[in-house]
Structure 1
Amino acid sequence: MTRVLFDALTPKQARIAAVLHIEGAQRGVEVVVTCRDYMHVADMLELYGVPHRCVGRYGVSLYEKLVYGLERQRALADVAVEVDAMVGFPSPDAARVVFGLGKPLVVLNDTPHAHHVNRLVIPLSDVLVAPAATPEEAWRNYCPRRVVTFDGVFEYMWTSRFAPNPDVVKSLGLSPGGYVVFRPEEAHAAYYRWDYAELRRRLVEEARRLGYVVVNIPRYPDQIMDGVVNLTKAVDHLQLAYFSAGVVTGGASMATEAALLGVPALSYFPEGYYLDDYLAKRGAPLYRCRDLETCRGALREMLRVGRAGPLKLEDPSRVIFEVVSGVVSR
């Protein structure tokens, strides 16, 4: 049996790891999952019942990112020595270890704007797997050896397998359609250089003024807010999004998930994002904004218009396993 390492660093990556772990068992591939101490990641793996080993922690300052990363590399070496390859989103720590052991690396990526990790990881990779909606020139500065694309988005891997269950939101005391989900921005990521805390606060006020309960899913402890429902331990975010009136995020993943399910979603990430345009052209209820007044208008508009039908896209799981098989058998 082929054994591959997946180092899950975010809840989105934990979902990808979970799908590949389950699918891999049917394909003769064991996906060995590691993570770090970062809000909602281990919780998400536990929700899926995925065995995992949590190694190290997330650094906020540049010094912490460096030192904690070095500590993680030493611990990950003991895991990576037992696998045949690595697959996953850019993890500088795991990539350095796998490369040092002379094993192949398959990188999954849809965020060309994440310059720091991309510069560290993509040049070490054998193959980059990315959505076709992201033009190949967006990756050129990172010097990928080979790019394989698919007609879809990574989030489709789990939204296409989703089964609604209202008991999840009812157990939180929420009424379907009576709340709006907020996912704050990636404020402490190395690439994030904006301050959108005030914009987020004002959007929360607007949602509450419109009569909705606000459910906040913070990325960091300093994003916990007063007057809202704060979820600091992971629940199934897909259930939460599906039964909401809408989703607002400073990133992309939760907006993409919601829009794939037909739930209106708003992203205030301040840079252009190829996948948003791709999904919007296919009829996904996905809205973008960058300043307070535009965001307020978009929030009111999406809540007024409401839901749409779910999208049908290519599931990248097959492509990922084909690429992994190819690099391991070389």
Structure 2
Amino acid sequence: MKILIDINHPAHVHYFRHFARIMQSYGHETLFVSRNKEMAQRLLALYNIPYMDRGKGRDSRLGKLMYLIYADYQLFKISAAFNPDLYLNFLHPYPSQVAALLGKPSLVFSDTEHASLHHKLTVPFATKVYTPACYKLDLGQKHVRFNSFMELSYLHPNYFTPNPAILDVLGVQPGEKYAIVRFVSWAAAHDFDHTGMSAANKLKAVQTLAGHAKVFITSEGALPTALEKYRISIPVDKMHDAIYYSSLVFGESATMASEAAVLGTPAIFIDNDGRGYTDEEERKYGLVFNFTESNADQLRAIDKAEAILSDKDAPQKYKHLRETLLADCIDTTQFMVNQALQFSTAHPDPVMPVNS
């Protein structure tokens, strides 16, 4: 079976890289096609994953519409040469639209409820749409829920072992507290009309955290001059090691908040829309704390972050909560493999067991 895996964001590289390796070990062929966004193609290169480039994309509404036409055309040309039997991607429209045009099945994963435009442009063309069980929307007959999180496709202990060498890279002593702060660009299609944290509160947050721990900032865009000295400088494939050993993740990224949660690191997530999975990670496991973008909530988020860093029992408490989460969740990659194998018509392989 030939599988085309389309990457639209750096996180998608992590979602599907172990899936591809396992499917290749079964004798199936995979082809990665990647948008040139942020560090997506750098990650593919770091993991020695060959890929085809489908362009940089656009940020404006009109630009995104024009890019949709361009990306569909590029994928159609690639498909004509590769002749895939199955398309796989995280929620964005191009692969499913091309697959439907060619009469091929496409499997789509999603965990972002408020990506309404992508839903409208993707779900009608997809064969199946898979989401975590905590997903807040019903996407109809194609919708399949699984009991886990997308981040456990690469941060499950079956795939990830933290490397303490990251502490030397960061200049942090074993046991020394440090916090990772994440600011996003708000340029994604589902982020229009968001403002994120104010400049004043970004400064306040960093200054407050710095009173209790070293601070490292990862930002999609430019930082205020006063914060530039905190910008983290590590290899892009070492961020998950940094998250594992950190005392707190604070910021505007749902993905990074969830990565922290499944690694047993407490996270503060600031966003008006929220996510079903970060809500679940707060309600059920107490690993994420969700706040809106209102000024009052931004200040409450800073207070909560300070309380976590002041709690001497926090490291043990949150790693213990992680064990509860892992016991409840399946291995997301194994689930992906099981679903894909159902579309293998020539000598299908036995279905892999999924941890319960």
What TM-score do you get using the length of structure 2 for normalisation? 0.82
Rounded Cα–Cα distance in structure 2 between residues aligned with 1:175 and 1:116: 46
Does the alignment pair 1:269 with 2:271? yes
**Structure 1 residue 186, shift from structure 2 partner:** 4.9
SS at structure 2 position matched to 1:129: strand
Per the alignment, do residues 79 and 175 of structure 1 end up closer, same or farther by CA in structure 2, a change over 3 Å counting? farther
Rounded Cα–Cα distance in structure 2 between residues aligned with 1:40 and 1:292: 28
The answer (yes or no) to whether the contact 1:184–1:223 under 8 Å persists in 2 is no
Per the alignment, do residues 107 and 261 of structure 1 end up closer, same or farther by CA in structure 2, a change over 3 Å counting? same
Does the alignment pair 1:322 with 2:320? no
**Structure 1 residue 130, shift from structure 2 partner:** 1.1
User: What is the aligned partner in structure 2 of residue 167 from structure 1?
Assistant: 165
Rounded Cα–Cα distance in structure 1 between residues aligned with 2:221 and 2:16: 22
**Structure 1 residue 131, shift from structure 2 partner:** 0.9
Rounded Cα–Cα distance in structure 2 between residues aligned with 1:226 and 1:154: 31
Rounded Cα–Cα distance in structure 2 between residues aligned with 1:43 and 1:154: 21
Rounded Cα–Cα distance in structure 2 between residues aligned with 1:6 and 1:89: 9
**Count of aligned pairs between the two proteins:** 323
Per the alignment, do residues 273 and 167 of structure 1 end up closer, same or farther by CA in structure 2, a change over 3 Å counting? same
SS at structure 1 position matched to 2:134: coil
The one-letter code of the counterpart of 1:315 is: D
The answer (yes or no) to whether the contact 2:89–2:109 under 8 Å persists in 1 is yes
Per the alignment, do residues 325 and 235 of structure 1 end up closer, same or farther by CA in structure 2, a change over 3 Å counting? closer
State the Cα deviation string for residues 27-47 of structure 1 (Å, max 9, x = none): 333332121111121222233
The answer (yes or no) to whether the contact 2:113–2:276 under 8 Å persists in 1 is no
The answer (yes or no) to whether the contact 1:43–1:233 under 8 Å persists in 2 is no
The answer (yes or no) to whether the contact 1:116–1:191 under 8 Å persists in 2 is yes
Rounded Cα–Cα distance in structure 2 between residues aligned with 1:124 and 1:252: 26
Structure 1 range deviating more: 291-300 or 62-71? 62-71
Does the alignment pair 1:113 with 2:114? yes
State the Cα deviation string for residues 10-29 of structure 1 (Å, max 9, x = none): 22211012121122123333
Out of 300, 307, 324, the position equivalent to 1:301 is 307
SS at structure 2 position matched to 1:270: coil
The answer (yes or no) to whether the contact 2:212–2:306 under 8 Å persists in 1 is no
The one-letter code of the counterpart of 2:330 is: E
Structure 1 range deviating more: 272-281 or 220-229? 220-229
Rounded Cα–Cα distance in structure 2 between residues aligned with 1:233 and 1:223: 23
User: What is the aligned partner in structure 2 of residue 146 from structure 1?
Assistant: 142
| 1:1-330 paired onto structure 2 within 5 Å | 2-81=1-80, 82=82, 83-135=84-136, 138-140=137-139, 144-160=140-156, 161-175=159-173, 177-192=176-191, 193-198=193-198, 199-208=201-210, 210-220=211-221, 225-231=227-233, 234-290=236-292, 291-305=297-311, 306-307=314-315, 308-309=318-319, 310=322, 311-312=325-326, 313-327=329-343, 329=345
**Structure 1 residue 201, shift from structure 2 partner:** 3.9
The answer (yes or no) to whether the contact 1:107–1:128 under 8 Å persists in 2 is yes
User: Which of structure 1's runs of 4+ aligned residues deviate more than 6 A?
Assistant: none
Per the alignment, do residues 168 and 319 of structure 1 end up closer, same or farther by CA in structure 2, a change over 3 Å counting? same
Aligned sequence identity (%): 21
Per the alignment, do residues 186 and 324 of structure 1 end up closer, same or farther by CA in structure 2, a change over 3 Å counting? farther
| Superposition CA RMSD, Å | 2.4
Rounded Cα–Cα distance in structure 2 between residues aligned with 1:201 and 1:123: 44
Structure 1 range deviating more: 73-82 or 224-233? 224-233
Rounded Cα–Cα distance in structure 1 between residues aligned with 2:231 and 2:189: 28
Which blocks of at least 5 consecutive residues in structure 2 are unaligned? 347-356
Rounded Cα–Cα distance in structure 1 between residues aligned with 2:342 and 2:224: 42
Which blocks of at least 5 consecutive residues in structure 1 are unaligned? none
Rounded Cα–Cα distance in structure 2 between residues aligned with 1:179 and 1:93: 40
**Structure 1 residue 323, shift from structure 2 partner:** 2.3
SS at structure 2 position matched to 1:159: coil
Rounded Cα–Cα distance in structure 2 between residues aligned with 1:241 and 1:139: 32
**Structure 1 residue 49, shift from structure 2 partner:** 2.5
Rounded Cα–Cα distance in structure 1 between residues aligned with 2:77 and 2:120: 25
**Structure 1 residue 223, shift from structure 2 partner:** 8.5
Per the alignment, do residues 206 and 48 of structure 1 end up closer, same or farther by CA in structure 2, a change over 3 Å counting? same
SS at structure 1 position matched to 2:59: coil
Per the alignment, do residues 149 and 274 of structure 1 end up closer, same or farther by CA in structure 2, a change over 3 Å counting? same
